[in-house]
Amino acid sequence: MSKELAKTYDPKSIEDRLYRKWEENKYFHAQVDRSKKPFTIVMPPPNITGQLHMGHALDNTMQDILIRYKRMQGYNALWQPGTDHASISTEVKVIESLKAQGIDKKDLGREGFLEKVWEWKEEYGGRIVKQLKKMGSSADWDRERFTMDEGCSRAVQEVFIKLYEKGLIYKGSRIVNWCPVCKTSISDAEVEHEEQDGFFWHINYPVKGEEGRFVEIATTRPETLLGDTAVAVNPEDERYQDIIGKTLIIPLVGREIPVVADHYVDKEFGTGCVKITPAHDPNDFEVGKRHNLPEINVLNDDATVNQNGGKYAGMDRYEARKLMVKELEEQGLLVKVVPHSHNVGTHDRCNTTVEPMVKQQWFVKMDELIQPAAEAVRKGDIKLLPERMEKIYFNWTDNIRDWCISRQLWWGHRIPAYYCADCGELVVARENPGTCPKCGCTHMTQDEDTLDTWFSSALWPFSTLGWPDKTEELDYFYPNDVLVTGYDIIFFWVIRMIFSGYEQMGSKPFHTVLFHGLIRDSQGRKMSKSLGNGIDPLEVIEKYGADALRLTLITGNAPGNDMRFYWERVESSRNFANKIWNASRFIMMNLEEGKLKEPDLSELAVEDQWILSKVNQLAKDVTENMDKFELGIAVQKVYDFIWDEFCDWYIEIAKTRTFKKEENPESAQVAMWTLKTVLIQALKLLHPYMPFITEEIFCTLQEEEETIMLSQWPQYREDWKFSKAEEALEHVKDLVKGIRNTRAEMEVPPSKKAKVFIVTEEAALSDTFETMQNAYCMLAGASEIHVQQNRDGIGEDAVSVVIPGAAVYLPLEDLVDFEKEKERLLKEKERLGKELARSRGMLSNEKFMSKAPKEKVQEEKEKLEKYEKMMAQVQERLAQMS
């Protein structure tokens, strides 16, 4: 061969070079081609604030595996990439950056601030894309999109206006998640629920007109009693039938509220009486609507108590809580305080406890929109993998609430709504109407709010392909095929894309959603900044290469399951890469100039037939696994085949022919053709998982094709099915393993060769063993091989190994030096005798048996059993020798 691999595998020297080659040759780029079947994946857009983390690494590795697989199968494969503007996190980052320069956001004004954000985006926005390229992601970067580029922004505006005109978007007062620090409503996706230790404060509410009678309620947020507008009981709760309809007096406030009956109340939970604060709890809000209760908001945007809080106005929510609890106790209305652990929602950006608050916001009406999305999964038009995700999906679709889409931010898609300064008329339009249609006033101002980030990413499968224009790409590549994403955003993104696809395109956005789990640390903990246990994928790549990281992330990976990250596993993946590299170097070093002629199948030796049959079946199995999205199972099969069957068995057996090519050049040529052919097939099957090393070896090994990426995926061939050869080689492997195990047990040094007698009455087996004699000499340390039908000429002292269809005998004198072995065994017998005496002595000692821990006694019993077995083996060997 004119080309050869470097002596050692060094990912740093090949990965960047190969990625440049792929990009320069446009291998990732997909053009509309009606002669080919399309296959489309849309990349979940990472935030422009993002830094590659293990979740991104897993997510993109899985997508890249699928896209590379389909590309090799001949599909016109498009992996559509892009990034997300990430309203809140980007705004927070830029505000922090400005603060460090002594600049206040408000001083800049909206336009000035947005200029700074766009500057920040230009500087840092592409960082994560560069990092994804380090992973080997073969996305079509020529088509890269941004959720606030001109096309996506037009799509967002179009959808908002269409939904508004259909009555599916409205402005109204409802409960939202409010962040008191960022001073904006936030989506459910940005609320992290964490278990926190708190309390249940049990408080007595006096019954009006009945001196000394109280209703006891329990609350985790005493300060919200300032906004109570009722207390509810279950209508079937016999304890409280007589107070339904009566009036209570709110402690500390003196305001009167009714007792209402509602099935929302759980009779078994707490006292069975629930305070209803419609302005500060989503469930209470619904109860309030059913009973026409007023909504009293008692908090300002910064979570201080507002003017509705009377004497507590101006106090921080927790400061007010402390004082109110103290005063309730002083008035004898605090019954008890019970420790209580409960889920508390915090904003994932600033870790502030979120307040549910009634706010005038923009909402999407969900009850109608969600129906096609629920139906699609029920009918199987869209498959969720694993299937257990359906339960979570339906739990959300069946309990859908209207979606709050407005955010009190400057960075994002500004809501296309305009208000008349004089009469307050609201107009939703593509641009400022200039004149009020109601009063003729010319002072029209745009809504200050921007849209929830998820509003734009919900359109991602079609906005990236040019919608609302009817582009050729949209017609050809939509619907997408597969969405790969973490299970933690099933509601926030997946469902929104599905209902948006049906509403705007009239069809599903994809046919399969493949969910993956989280990457946890080696102790099973979620990776987080606070724990300091996050692992930077770039650090792993720097140390071991992208291929090793990719293989580690996907090995053992099952859809929807979390997995633990161990550095030892990355090392093991790197060792696997070394194994392939060294095996490939060996093959190339033995290849001669010129093209190898494909032999006739009749010219193949039994071991050649076996390995071809194995790689042929592997291609079939791996293809089936890939089509079922069983990526972890598929790669394990490829790994086992390459390491075990190809490297540890076939290459070692083939060496007996390649090392003696002068004696039988035809046989050596067939062996070399088989080595090269099987290696190429294995590299192709491995390529989606480990793209860099497979490309480097493939392009060095052959000159017909310029890249493995566009070479044909291995297909099953009926003429490569050699069942008899597979059966024969299993006998050979059993024989070699049996001899190796026996030699290891008897501590025979590798340098000591021994005669091997194989006794079998099966003619076909006998032929196999005869033809494989050279292999046994190399693999089993045999000096000579005798294949026969009976035990004639085999001494009684020969050590035997029984395998299916045959027995193997090794003369004892060939394996050991009798005198030395006898001396060693006698010493071992003496040592074991002392250990047995000590162990039996301890177990017959009543003091030890009664006072020692159970574990210690059990340990001693196990030791005794082990020593007895070892002694029996030593005595048997000594008896054989005498």
Report the predicted TM-score, pTM, of the whole model to 2 decimal places.
0.85
Pairing of strands 406-407, 417-420: unpaired
Q: Given pLDDT bands bounded at 50, 70 and 90, which one contains residue 706?
A: very high
- Residue 536 CB-half CA count within 13 A: 9
Residue 882: its pLDDT value, please?
Answer: 67
Please state which of the ranges 413-422, 476-485, 767-776 shows the lowest mean pLDDT. Answer: 767-776
**Residue 198 contacts residue 318 (beta carbons within 8 Å):** no
Residue 2 has pLDDT above 60, yes or no: no
Q: Given pLDDT bands bounded at 50, 70 and 90, which one contains residue 765?
A: confident
User: Pick the residue with more confidence: 193 or 315?
Assistant: 315
Cα dihedral 876, 877, 878, 880, rounded to 10, equals: 90
Q: Given pLDDT bands bounded at 50, 70 and 90, which one contains residue 854?
A: confident
β-sheet bridge partners, residue 801: 808
d(CA 650, CA 640): 13
Q: Say what percent of the chain tops pLDDT 70.
A: 99
**Residue 728 contacts residue 766 (beta carbons within 8 Å):** no
Residue 529: its pLDDT value, please?
Answer: 67
| pLDDT tens profile 163-212 | 999 999 999 999 999 999 888 888 776 788 878 888 999 999 999 999 99
- Residue 381 CB-half CA count within 13 A: 14
| pLDDT tens profile 258-314 | 999 999 999 888 889 999 999 999 999 999 999 999 999 999 999 999 999 999 999
Which CATH number is associated with domain 819-881?
1.10.287
Residue 479 preceded by cis peptide, ω within 30? yes
Residue 750: its pLDDT value, please?
Answer: 81
Mean pLDDT of 814-832: 80
Cβ neighbours of 342 (radius 10 Å): 12
Q: Given pLDDT bands bounded at 50, 70 and 90, which one contains residue 119?
A: very high
DSSP code, position 599 = P
DSSP code, position 491 = I
Residue count of the chain: 882
**Residue 500 contacts residue 188 (beta carbons within 8 Å):** no
Phi-psi region of 560 (alpha: psi -120 to 50; beta: other; left: phi over 0): left
User: Pick the residue with more confidence: 522 or 614?
Assistant: 614
Where does 525-597 have alpha helices with state H?
A: 537-544, 546-554, 567-590
Q: What single letter denotes the amino acid at residue 38?
A: P
Residue 573: its pLDDT value, please?
Answer: 96
Q: Of 108, 142, 144, 138, whose CA–CA distance to 125 is shortest?
A: 144
Q: Of 801, 848, 784, 621, whose CA–CA distance to 714 is shortest?
A: 621
Q: Residues 6 or more apart from 300 whose CB is under 8 A from it?
A: 306
**Residue 202 contacts residue 333 (beta carbons within 8 Å):** no
Q: Could you tell me the residue ranges of all domains in the chain?
A: 184-356, 573-721, 726-816, 819-881
Q: Given pLDDT bands bounded at 50, 70 and 90, which one contains residue 605?
A: very high
Q: Given pLDDT bands bounded at 50, 70 and 90, which one contains residue 700?
A: very high
**Residue 773 contacts residue 786 (beta carbons within 8 Å):** no
Q: Of 504, 632, 647, whose CA–CA distance to 585 is shortest?
A: 647
Residue 393 has pLDDT above 50, yes or no: yes
Q: Given pLDDT bands bounded at 50, 70 and 90, which one contains residue 530?
A: low
DSSP assignment of 406-450: EES-SSS-B--EEEETTT--EEE-SS--SS-TTT--S-EEE-S-E
Give the CATH architecture of domain 184-356: Alpha-Beta Complex (3.90)
Residue 593: its pLDDT value, please?
Answer: 67
Mean pLDDT of 793-814: 81
d(CA 130, CA 538): 11
**Residue 608 contacts residue 587 (beta carbons within 8 Å):** no
Residue 728 has pLDDT above 90, yes or no: no
Chain centroid to CA 412: 29
Q: Of 442, 449, 437, whose CA–CA distance to 421 is shortest?
A: 442
d(CA 378, CA 397): 11
d(CA 38, CA 42): 13
d(CA 121, CA 116): 9
Please report, for residues 295, 586, 773, the alpha-carbon distance to residue 279 in angstroms, rounded to integers and kept in the order given.
5, 74, 86
Phi-psi region of 167 (alpha: psi -120 to 50; beta: other; left: phi over 0): left
Q: Given pLDDT bands bounded at 50, 70 and 90, which one contains residue 594?
A: low
Q: Of 601, 684, 605, whose CA–CA distance to 642 is shortest?
A: 684
**Residue 183 contacts residue 408 (beta carbons within 8 Å):** yes
Q: What single letter denotes the amino acid at residue 644?
A: D
d(CA 30, CA 71): 10
Q: Of 378, 471, 456, whose CA–CA distance to 31 is shortest?
A: 471
**Residue 231 contacts residue 276 (beta carbons within 8 Å):** yes
Helical (H) or strand (E) element with 145: strand 145-146
Pairing of strands 145-146, 563-564: unpaired
| pLDDT tens profile 122-160 | 988 889 999 999 999 999 999 999 999 999 999 999 999
Please state which of the ranges 295-299, 400-404, 409-413, 464-468 shows the lowest mean pLDDT. Answer: 400-404
| pLDDT tens profile 628-651 | 999 999 999 999 999 999 999 999
**Residue 754 contacts residue 781 (beta carbons within 8 Å):** yes
Residue 618 has pLDDT above 90, yes or no: yes
Q: What is the largest CA-CA distance in the chain?
A: 119
Q: Residues 6 or more apart from 537 whose CB is under 8 A from it?
A: 52, 53, 54, 56, 57, 131, 135, 549
Q: Of 56, 46, 776, 122, whose CA–CA distance to 486 is shortest?
A: 56
**Residue 117 contacts residue 90 (beta carbons within 8 Å):** yes
> What is the pLDDT of the chain when averaged over all its residues?
91
Compute φ and ψ for 806, nearest 5 degrees. -160, 165
DSSP code, position 490 = I
| pLDDT tens profile 30-62 | 999 999 999 999 999 999 987 888 889 999 999
Residue 782: its pLDDT value, please?
Answer: 84
Residue 685 has pLDDT above 50, yes or no: yes
DSSP assignment of 745-759: HTT--TT--EEEEEE
Residue 1: its pLDDT value, please?
Answer: 42
Helical (H) or strand (E) element with 208: none
Which CATH number is associated with domain 573-721?
1.10.730.10
DSSP code, position 45 = P
DSSP assignment of 705-723: -S-STTSPPP---GGG--H
User: Pick the residue with more confidence: 228 or 662?
Assistant: 228
